[in-house]
Amino acid sequence: MDTTLLAEALGNLLTPQVLLAIVAGVVGGILIGALPGLSGTMGIALLVPVTFGMDPVAGIAMLTAIYAAATYGGSISAILINTPGTPAGAATALDGYQLTRQGKGAKALGVSALASTAGGLVSAFALLLLAPPLAQVSLAFSAPEYFLIAIFGLLIIGSLSAGSLLKGFVAGALGLLLATVGIDILTGYPRFTFGTTALQSGIQLVPALIGLFSLSQVLVLAEGRGTDRTGMAEGLRGRALPTLAELKRIGATILRSSGIGVFVGILPGAGGDIGSWVGYNEAKRFAKGPEKEEFGKGSIKGVAAAECANNAVTGGAMIPLLTLGIPGGSATAVILGGLLIHGLQPGGALFAESGGITYAIILGFLLANILMGIIAIAGARFFVRATRVPMSVLVPVIVALCVVGSFAVNNSLADVWVMLVAGAVGYVLRKVGVPPAPIVLGLILGAIAEKGLRQSVVMAQGDMIGYYLSRPLSVVLMALILLSLLAPVLARWLRKRIPEQEREKAAA
């Protein structure tokens, strides 16, 4: 990044609107993450319509700030009431809650905030350093490569399902089906519009996102009794910031977990929950003597490892998102939708044609992580009290925001109906264990895959196989697709083969 581009990026970033948007995103993200049952994905989807009237830098920076801050926010309820606000906070609860029971809840929150900030900053610098060269490669992409990239992205659908692989692919197939609604891009013939003018432009992405992630989750929360949050502030006594000696103890753990988190984040479909568990397990494996025995009983190393890793995932996950347009999880899928709505197509062109905006977004993400650490420590007691707001108040407020946000997209009641139907479908699918994230991935990537395929057919002039094999980048992408298909099969074969070899050795 040359000095001219840096100056342009800083000029785009250092404006009152952008800075206020980042602060609002950090505060809102922490609150959303801290509330058990809510998630960063839900908050991002709910606030995408708010970004419509904003500058692209301010809008996307706010969404990425929510993403980072909500990941940290999940640790608050995990530490204080043993109920992770987000899936990524589950590993934190193991030691964080034990520290609260020992009267060290404030210390646990302080360690969590510092570790989350460190992990987020490392991932932001990794994004700043690794994304530009990868984007340069994607400049050589044409229709065939975009088709293959979309197919590769669709193959990670199964990994976005926490349970059954089949359910993930069923949800993805539903998303692909929804992507075909609207006017055919080549023939101009309406598909699955059922004579409705509102559907001729396809399923509107923002109302669908709000319905699938926000409304469906609220419906699930509304049918439950809510979470008992009484006594959340009881463990907030004493010093919040760790001592210098404690910082030295967790320094190596933070460095190791940061690297783990960035690597896991780059892997499509991995997510913060996997990053936090890998970071936690590695910290436990490297611990020696009495320190190893502390894990699960109130170890600040355990809290630091889990929180550092899950926040380092955020920047790592944005690397394939910005350079290739491949969202690695539900939150980045929604951010991808936000980018597209603002006319920012991920890939090499994003850095080449909109470099000032793109680097401003990345620097804004870095700034959001710094502010997150400051705000989290300074406002710890406020966030704890704010999370005691009952669900009976939150549910109607969120439903109202869903309706207003959907209508604001195009000032159309049709979008509200899309949101309501998507919410109902998302609720039913959640009840049967089918996740909404693959639906969104199918909806977004389905259109990209269709466009790339249809253009490739025209460009190939009847020889699709020969045309694809004549393009080196296409061959590399096809090899990656083949590898991703064979990897699960090889993994299962190895798991079976190793015990067989051990039995043969034992018999010998």
Task: Domain ranges for the chain, please list them.
Answer: 3-144+205-224+243-411, 471-508
**3-class SS of residue 194:** coil
Q: What is the distance between the terminal CA atoms of the chain, rounded to a whole angstrom?
A: 62
Q: What would the two tokens of residue 147 be?
A: 């088709």
How far is 457 from 472, CA to CA, in rounded Å? 18
How far is 445 from 153, CA to CA, in rounded Å? 7
How far is 312 from 296, CA to CA, in rounded Å? 22
The dihedral region occupied by 326, where left means phi > 0, alpha psi between -120 and 50, and beta the remainder, is beta
Backbone angles phi, psi at 191, to 5 degrees: -120, 125
- Going residue by residue through the chain, which has 508 residues, state the pLDDT in tens, using 9 for 90 and above: 667 888 888 888 989 999 999 999 999 999 888 877 677 888 888 888 888 888 899 999 999 999 999 888 888 878 887 766 666 677 788 888 888 888 887 888 888 889 999 999 999 999 999 888 888 877 777 888 888 888 887 776 655 555 566 777 888 888 888 888 888 877 778 888 887 877 788 888 778 888 888 888 888 877 765 444 444 545 455 566 777 887 888 888 889 989 988 888 887 655 656 777 788 888 888 877 777 777 777 888 888 888 898 899 888 889 888 888 877 677 888 888 888 888 888 877 788 888 889 999 999 999 999 999 999 888 877 777 766 777 777 788 888 888 888 887 777 888 889 889 999 998 998 888 777 778 877 887 888 888 888 888 888 887 888 888 888 888 988 888 887 777 666 656 765 665 554 445 444 5
Query: Pairing relation of β-strands 190-191 and 182-183?
Result: antiparallel
pTM: 0.78
Nearest to 453 by CA among 192, 145, 190, 152: 145
